[in-house]
Chains A and B, each alone.
Chain A
Amino acid sequence: GQNIDQPTEMTATEGAIVQINCTYQTSGFNGLFWYQQHAGEAPTFLSYNVLDGLEEKGRFSSFLSRSKGYSYLLLKELQMKDSASYLCAVLRNTGGFKTIFGAGTRLFVKA
């Protein structure tokens, strides 16, 4: 089967750094997405990792370890507008591509 785990909620302070972890167990793993979803809005794409290592994109970075079934999203210089849910999603390829979403991590940024 498949399983994606991420913390339900996290709280961090404006200006700080926060790391949101995601672990997964799945067959046919192809890559891992991170999406951001503000309350009442649609998810928006942040990053996609297919190889091991860190991908940096401005204040956001995403890391993947395929051997450990582990990824994290790193947010630097936190801003109040970063308060949102962060969805980890695994792309599987088992005779056809399929994206499986985790339940998401709600991040609260406080002043």
Chain B
Amino acid sequence: ETGVTQTPRHLVMGMTNKKSLKCEQHLGHNAMYWYKQSAKKPLELMFVYSLEERVENNSVPSRFSPECPNSSHLFLHLHTLQPEDSALYLCASSQDREHEQFFGPGTRLTVL
């Protein structure tokens, strides 16, 4: 069982669609993260959950809505996205927030 899995791996959506990204970790970690990675830009932290509680929200537009139903699962709900939201969305987990992070393979999102 791989550590951190993400589905789907690729997603193309229109600006009026609603979709969700899913992340699952099988490592028994307490913290989970959503990042956005655009070409030639640093990883942008979007949300952090620690023990299922959101502890950080980095001024992310409301068209991105996270959900953490339990310590193993993390979702990112998407609605009315813009073309500039096209990017690689990475999920990660760590034992606690001070430990190294384990990343999933990412979802390559294209917004038309």
Q: Which residues of A contact B (CB under 8 A)?
A: 4, 30, 33, 41-45, 48, 87, 91, 93, 96-104
Say which size band chain B's interface belongs to.
20 to 34
Would A87 and B98 count as touching, CB distance under 8 A? no
Would A96 and B97 count as touching, CB distance under 8 A? yes
Would A101 and B98 count as touching, CB distance under 8 A? no
State A101–B97 Cα separation when bound (angstroms): 14
Would B100 and A48 count as touching, CB distance under 8 A? yes
Min CB–CB distance B4 → chain A (angstroms)? 8
Q: Which residues of B contact A (CB under 8 A)?
A: 4, 40-43, 45, 48, 55-56, 90, 96-98, 100-106
Would A97 and B98 count as touching, CB distance under 8 A? yes
State A100–B43 Cα separation when bound (angstroms): 8
State A30–B43 Cα separation when bound (angstroms): 19
* A97 partner residues in chain B, CB cutoff 8 A: 96-98
Contact of B100 among A45, A96, A102 (CB under 8 A): A45
